[in-house]
Amino acid sequence: MADTAAKREADSVGTEDLSQKAKRAKADSENGGGEKEPESKNILSDFKTSSILSESAREKNIFIHGKLADQEAVVILEKTPITEDSLAELFSGSRLKLQMRNDIYSTYLLQAPPQLNEIKTTVVCPATEKHVKKYQRQESFLVEEKGEDYESITLPYIQKQSFSVQWVYNILEKKAEADRIVYEDPDPEVGFVLLPDFKWDQKQVDNLYLIAITHQRDIRSLRDLTSEHLPLLQNIFHKGKEAILQCYKLPASKLRVYLHYQPSYYHLHVHFTKLGYEAPGCGVERAHLLADVIQNLQSDPQYYKTRTLYFPLRADDGLLSKFKEAGRL
């Protein structure tokens, strides 16, 4: 439900069985455990385009629906960022095609060397109807959810849908992505794993994005949190920042640490992004700073059981229909 473009977050919806050909999008990501293809193999050579789901000139990405080996698939193409350490090779090894010159101004099309002109490509295959809708550009609505709305509308919907988080369990059990884990506290009560989100290319800290996934498996979202979870939240808050300082030399004062509501998948996880990076879903209508969550629970142990929360839902989201049917929208 809700989130945006990419990868794990996101907006993981429904079951996420990927073929061995596929790489994961959650998201935000969020699909689990796809295997990497050999660099020399182009699995997209037989991809047949059906439609363009959405595209963004600003974000330099495009979402494509089609078929891969007779299976429904979604392909996400994203321009990779220019890094400082590539500038010398970019300037010396590229070809320039003049477009316009006027006094001191000139514009060119720059043809970079192949190794500097990569396009990050994410493949979801086989893709379900939910995947297609997830990446399709749609109108959104801001929902007002009271505590009783969660109990009578949202929770029954979540339970009925049975959203799969098997890919999360694969990570926690080291069945997938074990080599990507940056830090782990194995404690079953307050422990977590910290690993890069697929939205981050891991080449520069300017767009740093990591996810902390709890070992506890019975906490779906912000709504489940009470004061008894404070040791867990404080552990993630402090040890997550320490791990990022050690690994990426980025101090806590430059981090945005937050939870989503609604989350993209129903297993408690915390987002760590660099302050200044406008990550998908970091806006006030969806992101809740972990520091604020901790303080709220310290003031009121049942804060998120009764608090009215607001969040965006896309026009095709099943939960939005439930709120409309209940006369709440």
Residue 210: which of 288, 277, 280, 271 has the closest Cα? 271
Residues whose CB falls within 8 Å of the CB of residue 225, separated by 6 or more in sequence, listed in order: 219, 233, 268, 293, 297, 304
Residues 309, 249 contacting (CB under 8 angstroms):
no
Q: How many residues does the chain have?
A: 329
Measured distance between the N- and C-terminal CA atoms of the chain, rounded to whole angstroms: 17
- The helix or strand, by DSSP H or E, that contains position 61, with its residue range, turns out to be strand 61-68
| Cα→Cα distances 173→36, 123, 142, 149, 189, Å | 19, 24, 36, 34, 15
For 8, which DSSP code?
Answer: B
3-class DSSP state for residue 71?
Answer: strand
Measure the CA angle with vertex 215, ends 210 and 216; round to 5°. Answer: 125
Burial environment of residue 6 by CB neighbours within 10 A (0 to 12, 13 to 18, 19 or more): buried
Task: Catalytic residue, from 131, 267, 269, 271: name it.
Answer: 269
Whether 269 is catalytic: yes
- Beta bridge mates, 62: 55, 77
3-class DSSP state for residue 46?
Answer: coil
For 29, which DSSP code?
Answer: B
Quote the radius of gyration of the chain (alpha carbons, Å).
Answer: 21
* Cα gap 189→216, rounded to integer Å: 6
Which residues are annotated as catalytic?
Answer: 269
